[in-house]
């Protein structure tokens, strides 16, 4: 009587390993027979396994290879020299926390209280409902994901902007001219900025004219201009990090390619009590015009 011999996943793996090692089918068949396999059952198991393997392999080869955009140089602070503070030129700036992947650095005392207050005072009369860049057209639109009010300064528009821009350039070894003008955002209770990436989506047509003004964004600095009573942290959902908003502190992060693999998805958590003011600086690859 013929004993039924099941073709187990382990047997299939063994057959594939033999083929990959270059052993001829007769040799494989011979060793199966030597270990008690009926010849017909062994041949059927080999055919079935190898046909399935080949079909899977061919399908994989036909899958399009999606290449990552090339990595570009990015700004960074020299935290290797001192994990405690870095030189901002006119001010020593504390390193509260630094991580590598994604590159996130929390700076302490980047701005003085007087600078925070001056930026808020200059921005207040110009606040309007924040808009989000519309990637399809390159324009901007009011968006439910962003329930703050905001405004943009021109680069170097006033004394405090100039001073902060020079400090950031020194701190991050990145030219002042590669920076966009400061953006100020004001959040009231319930307002938030849902998680997003700050780089421009290269697959969208609207990105073309945006990139013509200095290339991609490669880094962001969110500077806290006040300390909200409750809520309003800056979150990095890919890595489970949340930075608490403290007046004068800032969170810096960089992204060397316009791709989610940079793990720089980030958001502004809802403000629960009090208000939140931030100034955001985006740095481009080249001179921003």
Between β-strands 193-196 and 266-268, what pairing exists: parallel, antiparallel or unpaired? antiparallel
For residues 167, 261, 203 and 173, what is the CA-based torsion angle, rounded to 10 degrees?
A: 20
Helix (H) or strand (E) holding 132: strand 131-133
185: contact with ligand PD2 by CB under 6 A? yes
For residues 208, 236, 173 and 287, what is the CA-based torsion angle, rounded to 10 degrees?
A: 10
Residue with the shortest CB distance to ligand PD2: 268
Among 49, 147, 234, 264, binds ligand PD2 (CB under 6 A): 234
192: contact with Zn ion by CB under 5 A? no
Q: Could you tell which of Zn ion, ligand PD2, none binds residue 256, using a CB distance below 5 to 8 A set by kind?
A: none
Contacts of 154 (CB under 8 A, 6+ apart): 161, 181
Distance CA(58)–CA(6), nearest Å, equals 27
Per CB under 6 A, the segment of 83-91, 113-121, 209-217, 263-271 that binds ligand PD2 is 263-271
Q: Could you tell which of Zn ion, ligand PD2, none binds residue 234, using a CB distance below 5 to 8 A set by kind?
A: ligand PD2
Please answer whether residues 228 and 273 qualify as being in contact, where contact means their C-beta atoms are separated by less than 8 angstroms.
Answer: yes
Q: Which of residues 30-89 bind Zn ion (CB under 5 A)?
A: none
Per CB under 6 A, the segment of 13-21, 65-73, 152-160, 265-273 that binds ligand PD2 is 265-273
Minimum CB separation from ligand PD2 for residue 128, in Å?
Answer: 15
Q: How many residues bind ligand PD2 (CB under 6 A)?
A: 11
Per CB under 6 A, the segment of 85-93, 112-120, 200-208, 262-270 that binds ligand PD2 is 262-270
Among 88, 198, 216, 236, binds ligand PD2 (CB under 6 A): 198
280: contact with ligand PD2 by CB under 6 A? yes
Among 169, 198, 219, 241, binds Zn ion (CB under 5 A): 198
Contacts of 88 (CB under 8 A, 6+ apart): 110, 167, 168, 170, 171
Give me 274's structure tokens: 């009090």
DSSP state of 168: H
Q: Which is nearer to Zn ion, 153 or 236 (CB)?
A: 236
Q: Which is nearer to ligand PD2, 115 or 198 (CB)?
A: 198
Helix (H) or strand (E) holding 29: helix 25-34
Phi, psi of 57 (to 5 degrees): -60, -45
Residues of this chain that interact with ligand PD2 (CB under 6 A) are 185, 193, 198, 220, 222, 234, 266-268, 278, 280
Residues of this chain that interact with Zn ion (CB under 5 A) are 198
């Amino acid at each position: 009587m013929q004993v039924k011999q099941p073709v187990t996943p382990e047997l299939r793996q063994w057959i594939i390993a033999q083929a990959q090692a270059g052993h001829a089918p007769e040799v494989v068949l011979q060793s199966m027979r030597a270990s008690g396999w009926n010849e017909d059952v062994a041949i059927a198991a080999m055919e079935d396994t190898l046909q399935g393997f080949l079909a899977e392999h061919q399908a994989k080869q036909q899958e399009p290879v999606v290449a990552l955009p090339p990595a570009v140089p990015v700004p960074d602070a020299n935290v290797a020299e001192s994990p405690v503070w870095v030189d901002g030129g006119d001010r020593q700036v504390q390193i509260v926390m630094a991580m590598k992947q994604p590159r996130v650095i929390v700076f302490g005392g980047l701005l003085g209280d007087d600078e925070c207050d001056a930026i808020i005072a200059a921005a207040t009369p110009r606040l309007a409902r924040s808009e989000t860049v519309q990637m399809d057209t390159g324009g901007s639109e009011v968006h439910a994901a962003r329930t703050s009010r905001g405004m943009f300064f021109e680069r170097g528009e006033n004394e405090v902007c100039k001073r902060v821009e020079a400090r950031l350039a020194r701190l991050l070894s990145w030219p002042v001219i590669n920076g966009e003008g400061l953006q100020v955002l004001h959040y009231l209770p319930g307002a938030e900025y849902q998680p997003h990436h700050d780089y421009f989506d290269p697959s969208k047509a609207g990105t073309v004219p945006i990139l013509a003004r200095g290339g991609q964004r490669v880094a962001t600095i969110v500077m806290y201009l006040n300390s909200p009573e409750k809520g309003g942290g800056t979150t990095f959902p890919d890595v489970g990090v949340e930075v608490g908003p403290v007046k004068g502190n800032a969170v810096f992060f960089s992204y060397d390619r316009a791709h989610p693999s940079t793990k720089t998805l980030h958001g502004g958590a809802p403000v629960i009590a009090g208000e939140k003011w931030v100034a955001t600086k985006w740095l481009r690859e080249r001179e921003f015009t």
